RNA sequence: CGGGGCGUAGCGCAGCCCGGUAGCGCGCCUGCUUUGGGAGCAGGAUGUCGGAGGUUCAAAUCCUCUCGCCCCGACCA
């Protein structure tokens, strides 16, 4: 392809709106342009990358036995009302009305639509298992879209939905998708990790996220050295403490702690350390109840764990007024001793503690030598805190390490949540009507492209993994002589004949401009053709990643590059 | 939704405090020279200063409203 026939509006300067590498570089390389907040047009170069990723996804999904379909972007409100998500989804669900005033929404995901298809068309266990997928534009009216394709409102997603006759089958379908995802992201040339995840709004019983490791990632993951455990920090379990403290219980003591409201201030004032302190957090649940959550001073509460423990979906820290009413003290002095009529949950780390410090439920007061059971009752001891680096792994106890990740894929074992709500049943061998057991599986296509850039770029631009590069080779004739033009033409033909994807910079630009654009666009190899080299019958082949430049006889370039490309190939299986 | 910031030429920005009718760099167009890492010279085009209203003899500049965008937070398959 000649550059003169593609719109590749590269920018010399960084656009003001872009913060992170992928966003900045995609704009600069002319791959995307913004149309509105979180809404982008893919230009030819950007679309090529998207198509490459889609192709890998299709091959692996097909290989795993899934069948491609295409559902509509718009779906009718009735389907969403059946599962309750019309109300539950909130403002993220973009709604509209048609000319007859009927309610519709732009699909943020497609469980309702696919489950409706299933219940209409599938009758018998003989037809199962089934797995349908599509690559379709999704719309989620994100509160704050950001970082270009990383978190858009409109975005391309591959979503798949499996239907099985029982839990066991659903587990197998889940495993197939899990394996396919490994294959997909490996083929995309990404350094990623599958981690245990929370199921969030989608619901279900088991879930893994596929995280591309990158410092700009919005998610924090924890994993152990030997690969036995990896989880999203939202999900990561903390094992119970090894044993109770053997320290003798001392007598309760009330002390004045003027203006000491933070853990740090209290510790400084009482000359103790945060490990001896217990924070009392008061939360509102959606049912208007107040619960007390006890967390060791140097730990953070994990609200998802608290929600799960209580079986609620809404949880907010109580405001100052409520704290004052419940604890009869300003924020910072609440404590479990003497708190009446509210449920007390405690992180299990506290089970191992003796003689700790808590708030005194009085202004400027704390209590020393507090002991659970003796001084207050705990309704539930369980894992309630955020895991952190250094904590023991729940599988084997080696210390966890943390990293930032970009969520590019997510697999869920849904169970019968949707089939139940929508009556998606089939007849089992005994003629009994049975609920389908479902799974759902998403991949952010644009986000995968963005993640690849986050992981593969340098100061000058992008460095594409071969499998998803917009082009394999960037041809750069740098002088205008007839010899160079003719050689370039011949070279282009021979490379294309060898099955390579070649971008030919045929613009009338100076060498420096071409070199800089080529580094920015990041094709894995650049071939420079100039009079200087041709004098000895050679062209320069540059490996974008290593920066290494090799002089190659122009007659052998096609062979040389074919070899280089197969050396740089990411693992790939034959087509289905 | 809370906090902060920005909308001035295609892009990046100055001018705004202290009103006097718009400028710089890059890009773009023409010509000549140049041509292996973002060329030089000469000439040229381009703006309803985000929008609406107000104050004023006069508004990019001051005031009010409004729309859009960015960042932090809350939120989030």
Where do the domains of chain A lie?
A: 56-237+402-454, 253-382, 471-569
Query: Distances from the Cα of A344 to the Cαs of A234, A287, A336, A380, in angstroms?
Result: 22, 16, 8, 7
- Taking the domain A56-237+402-454, which CATH number applies? 3.30.930.10
- DSSP assignment letter at A543: E
The confidence score (pLDDT) of residue A202 equals 61
A35: CB within 7 A of chain B nucleic strand: no
- Pairwise CA distance, residues A538 & A552, whole Å: 5
Q: Which two tokens stand for residue A248?
A: 């003798």
A246: CB within 7 A of chain B nucleic strand: no
A245 close to A357: Cβ distance less than 8 angstroms: no
CATH of the domain spanning A471-569, picked from 3.40.50.800, 1.20.960.40, 3.40.50.300, 3.40.1190.20: 3.40.50.800
Q: Note the strand B nucleotides within 7 A of protein beta carbons.
A: 1, 11-13, 25-27, 34-39, 68-77
> How many Cβ atoms sit within 10 Å of the Cβ of residue A559?
13
Q: Which two tokens stand for residue A8?
A: 């590749």
Q: What is the DSSP string of A154-192?
A: EEEEEEEEEEESSHHHHHHHHHHHHHHHHHHHHHTT--E
The residue whose CA lies nearest the C1' of nucleotide B39 is A510
A384 close to A281: Cβ distance less than 8 angstroms: no
A129 close to A173: Cβ distance less than 8 angstroms: yes
Nearest to residue A472, comparing CAs of A421, A541, A411? A541
A232 close to A210: Cβ distance less than 8 angstroms: no
Question: For A46 and B51, how far is CA from C1' in angstroms?
Answer: 33
A366: CB within 7 A of chain B nucleic strand: no
Query: Distances from the Cα of A208 to the Cαs of A155, A211, A371, A509, in angstroms?
Result: 21, 9, 39, 49
Spatial neighbors of A357 by CB under 8 A, at least 6 apart, are A266, A270, A272, A276, A277, A278, A297, A366, A367, A368, A370
The beta strands (E) that lie in A450-548 are given as 457-458, 461-462, 473-477, 502-504, 525-529, 538-543
- Pairwise CA distance, residues A244 & A354, whole Å: 8
A203 close to A371: Cβ distance less than 8 angstroms: no
The confidence score (pLDDT) of residue A285 equals 82
- Pairwise CA distance, residues A541 & A398, whole Å: 47
Residues 61-100 of A with CB under 7 A from strand B: 92
- Pairwise CA distance, residues A287 & A307, whole Å: 12
A455 close to A213: Cβ distance less than 8 angstroms: yes
A510: CB within 7 A of chain B nucleic strand: yes
A555: CB within 7 A of chain B nucleic strand: no
Could you tell me the fold of the domain covering A253-382?
Answer: YbaK protein (3.90.960)
> What are the φ and ψ backbone dihedral angles of A113, each rounded to 5 degrees?
-70, -40
- Pairwise CA distance, residues A485 & A562, whole Å: 22
Q: What is the DSSP string of A369-393?
A: EE-BTTTB--SEEE--B---TTSBP
* Tens digit of each residue's pLDDT, chain A (576 residues): 999 889 999 999 888 888 899 999 999 999 999 888 899 999 999 999 999 999 999 999 999 999 999 999 999 999 999 999 998 888 889 999 999 999 999 999 999 999 999 999 999 999 999 999 999 999 999 888 889 999 999 999 999 999 999 999 999 999 999 999 999 999 999 999 999 998 765 666 789 999 999 988 889 999 998 889 999 998 999 999 888 888 899 999 999 999 888 888 899 899 999 999 999 999 888 777 889 999 999 998 998 888 888 888 778 888 888 888 888 888 889 999 988 888 999 999 999 999 999 999 999 999 999 999 999 999 999 999 999 999 999 998 899 999 999 999 999 999 999 999 999 999 999 999 999 999 999 999 999 999 999 999 999 999 999 999 999 999 999 998 999 999 999 999 999 999 999 999 999 999 999 999 999 999 999 999 999 999 999 999 999 999 999 999 999 999 999 999 988 775 544 443
A512: CB within 7 A of chain B nucleic strand: yes
A412: CB within 7 A of chain B nucleic strand: yes
Question: For A363 and B43, how far is CA from C1' in angstroms?
Answer: 79
Question: For A515 and B43, how far is CA from C1' in angstroms?
Answer: 30
A300: CB within 7 A of chain B nucleic strand: no
Nucleotide nearest to A534 (CA to C1'): B36
What residues form DSSP beta bridges with A163?
A130, A438
A359 close to A334: Cβ distance less than 8 angstroms: yes
The confidence score (pLDDT) of residue A325 equals 86
Q: What is the ipTM of this complex?
A: 0.92
Q: Which two tokens stand for residue A63?
A: 């290989």
Query: Distances from the Cα of A243 to the Cαs of A353, A381, A391, A539, in angstroms?
Result: 9, 14, 16, 70
Residues 126-185 of A with CB under 7 A from strand B: 138, 140, 142-147, 155, 157
A528: CB within 7 A of chain B nucleic strand: yes
A509 close to A476: Cβ distance less than 8 angstroms: no
Nucleotide nearest to A92 (CA to C1'): B76
SS (H, E, C) A410-434: EEEEEECHHHHHHCCEEECCCCCEE
A165 close to A128: Cβ distance less than 8 angstroms: yes
Burial level of A503, CB count in 10 A (0-12/13-18/19+)?
buried
A372 close to A346: Cβ distance less than 8 angstroms: yes
> How many Cβ atoms sit within 10 Å of the Cβ of residue A263?
19
Q: What is the DSSP string of A46-78?
A: HHHHHHHHHHHHHHHHHHTT-EE----SEEEHH
- Pairwise CA distance, residues A389 & A224, whole Å: 9
Question: For A1 and B30, how far is CA from C1' in angstroms?
Answer: 30
- DSSP assignment letter at A301: B
Nucleotide nearest to A201 (CA to C1'): B77
Query: Distances from the Cα of A169 to the Cαs of A162, A411, A420, A421, in angstroms?
Result: 10, 15, 17, 20
A312: CB within 7 A of chain B nucleic strand: no
Residues 188-217 of A with CB under 7 A from strand B: 199-202
Nucleotide nearest to A199 (CA to C1'): B77
- Pairwise CA distance, residues A462 & A31, whole Å: 11
């Amino acid at each position: 392809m000649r550059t003169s026939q593609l719109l590749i509006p590269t920018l010399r300067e960084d656009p003001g709106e872009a913060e992170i590498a992928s966003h900045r570089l995609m704009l600069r390389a002319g791959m995307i342009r913004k149309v509105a907040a979180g809404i982008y047009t893919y230009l030819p170069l950007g679309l090529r990358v998207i198509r490459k990723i889609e192709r890998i996804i299709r091959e692996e999904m097909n290989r795993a036995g899934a069948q491609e379909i295409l559902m509509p972007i718009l779906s009718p409100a009735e389907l969403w009302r059946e599962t309750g998500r019309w109300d539950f989804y909130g403002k993220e669900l973009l709604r509209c009305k048609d000319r007859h005033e009927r309610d519709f929404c732009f699909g943020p995901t497609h469980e309702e639509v696919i489950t409706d298809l299933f219940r209409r068309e599938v009758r018998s266990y003989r037809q199962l298992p089934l797995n349908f997928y599509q690559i379709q534009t999704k719309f989620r009216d994100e509160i704050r879209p950001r970082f270009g394709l990383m978190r858009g409102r409109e975005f391309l997603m591959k979503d798949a939905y499996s239907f099985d006759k029982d839990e066991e089958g659903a587990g197998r379908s889940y495993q197939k998708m899990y394996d396919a995802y490994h294959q997909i992201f490996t083929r995309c040339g990404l350094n990623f990790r599958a981690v245990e995840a929370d199921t969030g709004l989608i619901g279900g019983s088991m879930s893994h996220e596929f995280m591309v490791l990158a410092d700009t990632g919005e998610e924090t993951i924890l994993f152990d050295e030997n690969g036995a455990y990896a989880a999203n920090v939202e999900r990561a379990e903390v094992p119970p403490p090894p044993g109770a403290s053997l320290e003798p219980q001392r007598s309760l003591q009330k002390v004045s702690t003027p203006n000491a409201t933070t853990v740090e201030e209290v510790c400084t004032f009482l000359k103790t350390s945060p490990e001896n302190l217990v924070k009392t957090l008061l939360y509102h649940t959606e049912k208007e109840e107040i619960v007390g959550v006890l967390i060791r001073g140097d730990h953070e509460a994990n609200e998802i764990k608290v929600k799960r423990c209580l079986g609620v979906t809404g949880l907010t820290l109580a405001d100052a007024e409520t704290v004052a009413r419940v604890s009869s003290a300003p924020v910072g002095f609440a404590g479990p001793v003497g708190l009446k009529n509210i449920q007390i949950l405690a992180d299990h780390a506290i089970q191992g503690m003796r003689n700790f410090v808590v708030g005194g439920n009085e202004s400027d007061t704390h209590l020393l030598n507090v002991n659970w059971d003796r001084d207050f009752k705990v309704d539930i001891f369980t894992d309630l805190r955020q895991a952190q680096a250094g904590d023991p792994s729940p599988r084997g106890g080696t210390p966890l390490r943390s990293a930032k990740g970009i969520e590019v894929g997510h697999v869920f074992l849904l169970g019968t949540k949707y089939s139940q709500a929508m009556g998606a049943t089939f007849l089992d061998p005994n003629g009994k009507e049975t609920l389908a057991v479902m799974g759902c599986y998403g991949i952010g296509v644009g986000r995968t492209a963005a993640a690849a850039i986050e992981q593969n770029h340098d100061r000058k631009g992008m460095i594409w993994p071969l499998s998803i590069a917009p082009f394999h080779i960037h041809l750069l004739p740098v002088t205008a002589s007839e010899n160079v033009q003719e050689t370039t033409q011949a070279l282009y033909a021979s490379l294309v004949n060898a099955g390579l994807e070649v971008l030919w910079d045929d613009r009338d630009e100076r060498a420096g401009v071409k070199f800089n654009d080529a580094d920015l666009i990041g094709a894995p190899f650049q071939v420079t053709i100039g009079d200087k080299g041709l004098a000895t019958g050679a062209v320069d082949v540059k490996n974008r990643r290593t920066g290494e430049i090799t002089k190659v006889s122009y007659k052998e370039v096609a062979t040389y590059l074919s070899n280089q490309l197969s050396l740089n190939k990411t693992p790939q299986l034959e087509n289905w």
